[in-house]
Homo-oligomer: A and B are copies of this chain.
Amino acid sequence: MSELKTEHTEVRRTPERGNYDREVINEILDEGIVAHVGLVSRERPVVIPMVYGRDGDTLYLHGSPASRLLRDGRKGAQLCVTVTLLDGLVLARSPLHHSANFRSVVVMGEASLVEDQADKSRILDLITEHVVPGRMTEVRPNTDMELKSTSVISLPIDEASAKIRTGPPVDDDEDYALPNWAGVIPLGISVGEPVPDPRLTEGIETPSHVTDWTR
């Protein structure tokens, strides 16, 4: 059993859906765009949507030092980062067997502040590239001032689990005879036509990392 499975990350509710394989976890993290980051603030839970990046066995978040997350994360706060990919709606013959096909990852651990400017620069590029691969070839690099005014947090992917559901509904035996439609509505991310900035300099063509963006 992988070391990623701990008392905190073990999938207890439907253990057959739990997965502690680092490759599976990384694949889900790399496909996701938005993570829901949980922390405890004044003894209450707070969940914030954030973009993120991954490098090897470390997850990275960034933001203004003013944000609540990074104010608390600075002190080595415990975080729970959850990434969910919704793959489909599972329609069963009884209401409670309705479900969703999904792939989710939970990473738990202690946040650290990344202080080194070169590291911060590399990680911020990595987060941008995670969301839009190829983007860093197009934009200007961050300035020293920008790096100083941005906080970067790292979270080791040491305690983690994936949870995955695929396939058709699972109904009670006696319900399969019911005259109800059952099956799956597959879901994914739709990508619209890129909308150029109204202030775009004339003559700039839409680059392929934009026209070909997909997930």
Contact surface of A with B, Cβ cutoff 8 Å: 8, 12-13, 33-34, 36-40, 42-49, 51, 63-64, 66-68, 78-82, 84, 86, 88-89, 91-96, 98, 100, 102, 104, 106, 108, 124-125, 128, 131-132, 135-136, 138-142, 146, 150, 168-169, 171, 175-201, 204-207, 210, 213
Contacts and interface: CB of A to CB of B under 8 A. Distances in A.
B175 A200 contact: no
Contacts of A36: 36, 38, 47, 49, 82, 84
Contact of A128 (B13, B95, B125, B204): B95
Contact of A188 (B184, B189, B205): B189
Given A36-B82, A49-B102, A138 B180 contact: yes
A184 B178 contact: no
A95 B80 contact: no
Given A135-B91, A184-B194, A192-B187, A43 B45 contact: no
Nearest to A175: B140
B46 A91 contact: no
Given A45-B40, A80-B47, A132 B187 contact: no
A200 B186 contact: no
A176 B199 contact: yes
A144 to B, nearest CB: 12
A205 to B, nearest CB: 7
B146 A8 contact: no
A107 to B, nearest CB: 10
27 contacts: A13-B63, A13-B66, A33-B100, A34-B100, A38-B47, A38-B80, A40-B45, A44-B78, A45-B78, A88-B195, A91-B135, A91-B210, A96-B124, A96-B142, A168-B197, A168-B199, A178-B201, A181-B200, A181-B206, A182-B197, A183-B196, A184-B195, A185-B210, A186-B191, A188-B192, A189-B189, A190-B190
